[in-house]
Amino acid sequence: MRAFFLPYFVKTPAGEVKREISISKFDAIIANPPYTRWTEIPDKTKKAIKDSIGKLLTEYNLTVQVQRGVEPGIYIHFIMHGFDVLKEGGRLGMLISDSWLQTDYGVDFGHFLLDHFKIKALIDISARESFSRARAVGSAQKFVEHLLAELVDRESD
């Protein structure tokens, strides 16, 4: 199983030195990525994203093009990076906006998902008018807790 390397910098008397930590791939990733826009991200972070998953973004036509109105949600980057650090057969669960379902880039993102994942469920909790925002978040949290319990149960078999 291939590990990946996480770079970090250490300040020493001789100056800043780049180091790397070797991290094994993950069995499961569960996340609630930030709801922010590409234009709000610091340039250093944008560069790190491009360095990490730039080839995938280009392959699936998901490169940010703000001038042309193409600005995929940041959660797409989290999912693509998650794929990169997930073990073969691993599970990925993310609470994300459904905005990609109503965009042109959403078709390309859908292709990425279908090419790399076996979709188990796509749940739209915003469609339920009976949910207040707080209850929708609570329901999503319960759903994630259920997924975690299912993963733990599977591992103990």
Question: What does the pLDDT look like over 85-110, one tens digit per residue?
Answer: 888 888 888 888 888 888 888 899 99
Give the C-alpha distances (Å, rounded to integers) separating 138 from 97, 132, 133, 141, 144: 16, 10, 9, 5, 10
Question: What does the pLDDT look like over 128-147, one tens digit per residue?
Answer: 554 455 444 545 555 555 55
Helix ranges (H only) for 11-132 are 43-59, 74-85, 104-116
Question: What does the pLDDT look like over 53-64, one tens digit per residue?
Answer: 999 999 999 988
Residue 157: pLDDT band (50, 70, 90) is: very low
Q: Does the reported pTM lie above 0.85?
A: no
Q: Is 47 helix (H, G, I), strand (E, B) or coil?
A: helix
CB count in 10 Å sphere of residue 26: 15
Give the pLDDT of residue 84: 86
116, 119, 120, 123 alpha-carbon torsion, rounded to 10°: 130
Give the pLDDT of residue 80: 92
Spell out the residues 6+ positions from residue 14 whose beta carbon is closer than 8 angstroms to its own.
none
Question: What does the pLDDT look like over 12-45, one tens digit per residue?
Answer: 998 999 888 888 889 999 888 887 888 888 999 8
